[in-house]
Structure 1
């Protein structure tokens, strides 16, 4: 459920986390899910199939995007899209002026223009079965344009637990990799993107 607090903006749940007021109702869980699936699919995977044009950096015209969504969902309003984006705790999307894009998770070929990360170390969670291969061959994207690295051990473990019950966390020597020409793009406060991570920068974090 998405609501709007007059003082603190859009939020998810029954009350604003800051002032505890219920705010103005916008979207129920069902419509929020439908909207989220369409936004994710279009901005990450199939813009052409949805009927929108995406530029090299992943941007889509905001008005054109809303027009496509209204044709699919007659209850759609532009405010609902802003509410979805601004209330998303994971920061999956961004709206800038008259454009919208996904920050990460693309399978389409985009060149995201983020600034370089300045984290000295980054982290990647993997199953025990994968680790030997990753240490030998490096980390490459699978079904996505970029490798998604975490800015903390805790975030890497949280992500990895979605896929495996007993993840091992790999540490990336980010500063050394960047010195050697590996680009590490800061997509959000918690996610850094790379085209690949060669094995010489990867180490297993000991418990």
Structure 2
């Protein structure tokens, strides 16, 4: 976990030094980044109702209401620090727009995400273990503890995900073009992540052993 700093020229960033070489002002230390990050992730992905927040079908909640909830949890939290957390996140986990905030992916709550663009990639990837890969070749890829299956736009990103769970990752290559043509909705969460409710086995076109 990296600290968050503010560069007068380039805004919020994570780590000690901005890409321009300057060491900006400390905004959040590592411990607070982890605490606030876990809390915001939990509220926006898993349990908004626990804190009285209304979430619409696209995952949005009122930003100022989230700020109030966060301040009740952490006296030091404020809207500035939440924005720092969001805008410094290189993984694009969150989005702030028109007075609202949402998690871009990782939901276990039921969201439709109808305002996401359709993923246009012809091929997508899913990283997993060899044991799970064999099962998915039979029944397809289904979400586990999440609302959507999370697909990667590159082999490298799918490998990163898989290595969180196994030392010997297997990459499943998905025929995204054919899946879309046959009515499977695949949407784009950010540059590296696409989402689908499930991927039936007939769209797994290749197994890549690394």
Residue of structure 1 in register with 2:188 after alignment: 186
* Contiguous gaps of at least 5 residues in structure 2: none
1:205 to 199, 205, 208: 208
Residue of structure 1 in register with 2:140 after alignment: 138
Aligned CA RMSD, in angstroms, stands at 0.9
Give TM-score, length-normalised by structure 2: 0.96
Give, in whole Å, the separation in 2 of the partners of 1:21 and 1:43.
33
Residue of structure 2 in register with 1:153 after alignment: 155
Residue of structure 2 in register with 1:71 after alignment: 72
Residue of structure 2 in register with 1:129 after alignment: 131
Shift of 1:206: 5.4
* Contiguous gaps of at least 5 residues in structure 1: none
Shift of 1:67: 0.7
Give, in whole Å, the separation in 1 of the partners of 2:46 and 2:171.
28
Give, in whole Å, the separation in 1 of the partners of 2:209 and 2:64.
49
Shift of 1:27: 0.7
Any residues of structure 2 matched to 1:24-43 within 5 Å, and which? 24-43=25-44
Give, in whole Å, the separation in 2 of the partners of 1:206 and 1:32.
36
Any residues of structure 2 matched to 1:3-22 within 5 Å, and which? 3-17=5-19, 19-22=20-23
Residue of structure 2 in register with 1:107 after alignment: 108
Residue of structure 1 in register with 2:90 after alignment: 89
Give, in whole Å, the separation in 2 of the partners of 1:73 and 1:126.
36
Confirm or deny: 8 A CA contact 2:58 2:113 kept in the other structure.
yes
Give, in whole Å, the separation in 2 of the partners of 1:69 and 1:190.
29
Q: 4+ runs of 1 displaced by more than 3 Å?
A: none
Give, in whole Å, the separation in 1 of the partners of 2:145 and 2:173.
22
3-state SS of paired residue (1:63): helix
Give, in whole Å, the separation in 1 of the partners of 2:68 and 2:30.
22
Give deviations 1:75-101, integer Å, cap 9, x for gaps: 112110111001001100000120000
Task: Give the paired residue count.
Answer: 206
Give, in whole Å, the separation in 1 of the partners of 2:27 and 2:52.
26
